[in-house]
Structure 1
Amino acid sequence: MKELQLPVLDLSDFHAGGERRQSFLDDLGEAARNVGFFYLVGHGLTNEQQRQVMQLAADFFALPLAQKLEVEMRHSPHFRGYTRLQGEVTLGRPDSREQFDIMREEPVRPQARDQPTWWRLHGPNQWPAQLPQMRPVLLQWQQELSDITVTLLRAFALVLQQPEHIFDETIQDAPYQHMKLIRYPGRSLPDEEQGVGAHKDPGYLTLVLQGEQSGLEVLTEDGWLAARPLPGSFVVNIGELLELASNGYLRATYHRVVSPPAGIERLSCAFFMAARLDATVPLLPLPSHLAELAKGPASDPLNPLFYQVGQNVLKGRLRSHPDVAQAHYRDLAVPA
């Protein structure tokens, strides 16, 4: 396992303007092209806010199983709520984690005949009655993380030498928000390492708040790199939408979580930001000197299917949560 550290970027440098902003953009571009991951500090969220969110995660997962199952995700056609151990699948194998998912709090939208199936993703979250403080704290936290990712997306637009607000049309009124509280228990057998299998994230950007226990690993040209917890920071990674929009100039990187040793648990909070579900993400016209360096994404950038956000979000959720697919989407041909 490599012991090198991911790059550390300070978001206050971007807000400072001038030479500090340009230095931040240079470092951001290098991190995004070479690794696809970095630590973010100077983001404006306090250590107390971070501790509060991690304590809520610990409190929720400490509830009796019967109470957690009252808000189990299979009750929600909108993919919100609790997923028990081995309830989510990555690369066809169950992940050794339990989690609690929320998204933007919304009313159910009527399903008209001409509406796409992903319209069903809109809806309310589920909340445990035993922890009434979760709703206001996590919704506020989710919005603050969303604001940070919007700032980062505008910084990436400048890295790509585009107008700063080039992505605004795809996130206007509300980007797609998805957040998870996650608990990884200690492994019961030495070779049961898959907390989460190797994957890329599908959206624009991901922000991960880690507890004290390590486990997140990033695939580099030299092997797996441990993204060990850095107090006060978020781990940020590029999603496939940003890779596709830049024709591979920016890099979406495979990553995984290795289960902690027996008797130790790992807690984290992951926030995923993408374009609106009804948006189509453009392939950006990079200037020639950047286009020459674009390696091309793993997927075909000319295939419009990859840019259709709602359809791809729903497809990924159906694959990852077969119990929800069986309960609420039996009218669809669910992908394997």
Structure 2
Amino acid sequence: MTSQTTSAHLPTIDLSRFYAGAAERASFIKDLRAILHDHGFFYLTGHGVPQTLIEEVLAYSKRFFALPEEDKLSIEMVKSPHFRGYNRAGYERTRGEQDWREQLDINTEGEAQPIKSDTPPWKRLYGPNQWPEALPELKPVLLTYQAEVTRVGIDVLKAIAVALDQPENVFAPIYEPQPTQLLKIIRYPGRDSTDSDQGVGAHKDGGFVTVLLQDTAAGLRVRTEEGAWIDAPPVPGTFVINTGELLELATNGFVRADVHDVVTPPRGTERYSVAFFLGARYDATIPVIDLPEELKRAERGVTVDPLNPIFREVGLNHLKSRLRSHPDVARRHHADLLPPEAQSAIA
């Protein structure tokens, strides 16, 4: 992991300006348009999520990770074919390398779909979440928070649409009536428990926008197109917003899904965060938006990574990501989707 950093800082955007008078809204849109083309990462204020809820989410996240290991493993992700549940540090991977963080993944509450030979594979993603019996209060807190950051994510997406000179609901046909709502509560142990500096490896997010809540410890970095890294430390009262691959696809690269990572905290410390990924419906296909000529001239095309291709089919894109990130779940529940060499590794 490179340590080259730059003294640049992420910009800050006040979402309340989007709902202010015409002049303030126009100024906000101009600022947002420049940020979207530059790197798509920014701090967000004026989001309207109550501070009491934010504090409650962080407090219950810490209570969950403080549970005895057997309580957390009772809802281990490998027990869920829908990629929901708890992962120990090192059990998720980025580009094949272990991420040194423990986490709990939940998504939109639902029921498993009947799977037949002709069923699209991405329908395996639908299903129930796993919740810890030892901490029943966690479920209502996280579902309340999930609903709030879904609102924030959709508001940001509407602002992005306007910044692209589109109707604010231009993306609605591919996320209504139910977007995907992946939420992770995350704990990064310090270096006293690992020699790795990869809290999470360099990657792009796959959805529309990510709404990230950081606690007090730093570690998030954003890579510029020139290859330098910008530190994105916690700023009280803000979320970090970043644009994902779906927007890169929809805008032919005018909006870029930027690479970012998290560095393992120092010895004797730990880092907590809550990441929310707003995505389109699994059955949607991402169109290319016809941008105005001024913006079209600034399109950069979609990133081509032979090790991690981006698909316009949302369900396929998300399933690909889950299979790569969680090989233990893939081997146990989805061996038929894996190449022969991976199938032979099933324990």
The question of a shared fold, defined as TM-score above 0.5 by the shorter chain, is answered with yes
Partner residue in 1 for 2:345:
none
C-alpha spacing 1:190/1:174, structure 2 compared with 1 (3 Å): closer
Give 2:29's match in structure 1, choosing from 15, 18, 25.
25
Amino acid at match of 1:50: I
Partner residue in 1 for 2:290:
285
Q: Report deviation, 1:190.
A: 8.4
Kept in 2, the 8 Å contact 1:244–1:299? The answer is no
Partner residue in 2 for 1:88:
92
Kept in 1, the 8 Å contact 2:107–2:182? The answer is yes
Query: Alignment partner of 1:323: what SS?
Result: helix
Partner residue in 2 for 1:315:
320
Partner residue in 2 for 1:14:
18
Kept in 1, the 8 Å contact 2:200–2:262? The answer is yes
Q: What is the rounded CA distance, in whole Å, between the counterparts of 2:175 and 2:193 in structure 1?
A: 44
Per-residue CA distance 1:63-118 (angstroms, 9 max, x = gap): 11111000000000010000001000001100000000000010112224432011
C-alpha spacing 1:187/1:23, structure 2 compared with 1 (3 Å): same
TM value normalised by structure 1: 0.95
Q: What is the rounded CA distance, in whole Å, between the counterparts of 1:239 and 1:260 in structure 2?
A: 25
Q: What is the rounded CA distance, in whole Å, between the counterparts of 2:19 and 2:119 in structure 1?
A: 41
Q: Report deviation, 1:24.
A: 1.4
Which consecutive residues of structure 1, in runs of 5 or more, have no partner in the other structure? none
Q: Report deviation, 1:191.
A: 5.5
Kept in 1, the 8 Å contact 2:99–2:198? The answer is yes
Structure 1 residue ranges (4+ consecutive) displaced by more than 6 angstroms after TM superposition: none
Partner residue in 2 for 1:208:
212
Q: Which moved more, 1:95-104 or 1:304-313?
A: 304-313
TM value normalised by structure 2: 0.92
C-alpha spacing 1:222/1:110, structure 2 compared with 1 (3 Å): closer
Q: Report deviation, 1:17.
A: 3.8
- Map 1:158-173 → 2, pairs under 5 A: 158-173=162-177
1:198 to 2:202 alignment: yes
Q: What is the rounded CA distance, in whole Å, between the counterparts of 1:45 and 1:331 in structure 2?
A: 42
Kept in 1, the 8 Å contact 2:245–2:310? The answer is no
Q: How many residues align?
A: 333
Partner residue in 1 for 2:190:
186
Give 2:119's match in structure 1, choosing from 115, 119, 122.
115
Amino acid at match of 2:115: Q
Kept in 2, the 8 Å contact 1:207–1:272? The answer is yes
Per-residue CA distance 1:21-73 (angstroms, 9 max, x = gap): 11111111111111220000100012211111111110000011111000000
1:329 to 2:323 alignment: no
Q: What is the rounded CA distance, in whole Å, between the counterparts of 1:108 and 1:26 in structure 2?
A: 43
Per-residue CA distance 1:132-168 (angstroms, 9 max, x = gap): 1111111111111111111111111111112221111
Partner residue in 2 for 1:264:
269
Which consecutive residues of structure 2, in runs of 5 or more, have no partner in the other structure? 343-347
Q: What is the rounded CA distance, in whole Å, between the counterparts of 1:35 and 1:113 in structure 2?
A: 42
Structure 1 vs Structure 2 CA RMSD: 1.7
1:249 to 2:238 alignment: no
Provide the identity percentage. Answer: 50
